[in-house]
Amino acid sequence: MPLPLQLPETFAQIPRYKILYSNPSPIHPLTSIATPRISPHRPLITIHAKREDHSSPLACAGNKYRKLEYIVPDILSQSPLYHSHENNPTPPGPLQGAATTLVTEGAIQSNHTVQVVALARNLGLKALVLLHRGTGGGLAAASDKDAFQRSGNVQINHLLGAEVRVCEEGDPLAQDATPFLDELRASGENPYWIPGGASLHPLGGLGYARAAFEIAAQEEEMGLGGSGRFDYIFVACGSGSTVGGLVAGFKLLEKIRGLDVSKTIGERRKIVGILNSPTKPRAYHEGRVLTFARKAGELIGLDGERDIAIEDVRLDDRFVGTAYGVLDGESKNSLETMARTEGMVLDPVYTAKVARGMMHWVNEGEVADSAKPLEQVNVLFVHTGGQAALGAYADIK
């Protein structure tokens, strides 16, 4: 059995409800796609995958369960604090009594909604999801639009017993679900709102701050060559708190180990968030991730403003494709490459684009640090789950 994570006291005291397995999500090598060392002037590059899709016994395991672990204690409280929609201009006070219904939102093929619904079933609560037809381009690009709206994650939401409401493009509920939550309260329910991706929830970044400590513990067990750690960590950046949490967690680790976290040091590991949507410019996402990292950092014992800077946020927008949820040709090739060389199935919305970005960085030499060449560079690809959505993408064969 793995030893318990050694979290600093401030972090360890934050309430957490266990949703994940007792063992850390596994890390394994991706030997078939690793690039051999072809020149003494280029480093040996190792590539590993951290399987967040193997992290929990609940349905469609993926990265959202980590975030939800720190939200559940508030959900189960007799006076939950963070239950209202973030756009509500006059948010109500704490709920009177524990929540009875989890309410969340997402795109038609949202992984997040499935994980919230599975959690609700596990807790004995009702679940209601708002699916937005107008989010991204997955539905518009689908060759079989009816199948896209009833298969994949939509099918699983129904199987889990969720009440599913589809919001048409322009529906006011797509911007603010407050009126709907008010209706539920008037009917006698105690609804608890979880924002899409859980990123805007005040506790949404804590799960991946904890994951940073888990990765560091696994690095020590693995005995990696070179720097002894993963020099680059590639992960999807959608709503942003997965990346932000990792930034905060590794910053805290650096502080514990005596590094000056107020400065950017070239030898530090680099967390690279691969953006999956061209809807907003990269600068917008960088600002969001910085906000989430600082918010999580302050909760776990950092000084958010002093310890975490915009230079700590590295996002790459070169692989977003034409729209959120649309699998472009090059990302499809990456999905097929992973399946046919490593036997590992990715999802069409997030991890296929991350794999494409990671392989570009590796193959084009972008993981090599010209300022301080390394004999070995260790790369980690974070598989955040989402494979259930493949069923809705009829063009993938």
Q: Is 201 helix (H, G, I), strand (E, B) or coil?
A: coil
Q: Which residues pair with 237 in a beta bridge?
A: 275
Strands (E), the chain: 27-29, 44-51, 101-107, 126-132, 163-167, 191-194, 232-237, 270-275, 314-316, 376-383
Examine the residue annotation and report whether 110 is marked as an active-site residue of this protein. Answer: yes
- How many CB atoms are closer than 10 A to CB 227? 16
- How many CB atoms are closer than 10 A to CB 39? 6
CA atoms of 103 and 212, how far apart (whole Å)? 28
Q: Is 103 helix (H, G, I), strand (E, B) or coil?
A: strand
CA atoms of 222 and 342, how far apart (whole Å)? 20
- How many CB atoms are closer than 10 A to CB 250? 26
Closest CA to 122 of 68, 77, 58: 58
The secondary structure of residue 157, as a DSSP letter, is H
Helix (H) or strand (E) holding 65: helix 64-69
Question: Could you tell me how many residues make up the chain?
Answer: 397
Q: Which residues pair with 186 in a beta bridge?
A: none
Closest CA to 67 of 226, 211, 216, 214: 211
Amino acid symbol at 78: Q
Q: Which two three-digit tokens encode residue 139?
A: 């539905």
CA atoms of 159 and 363, how far apart (whole Å)? 42
CA atoms of 96 and 222, how far apart (whole Å)? 48
Give 271-333 as a 3 state SS string: EEEEECCCCCCHHHHHHHHHHHHHHHHHHHCCCHHHHCCHHHCEEECCCCCCCCCCCCHHHHH
Out of 25, 56, 110, 199, pick the active-site residue. 110
Active site residues: 110
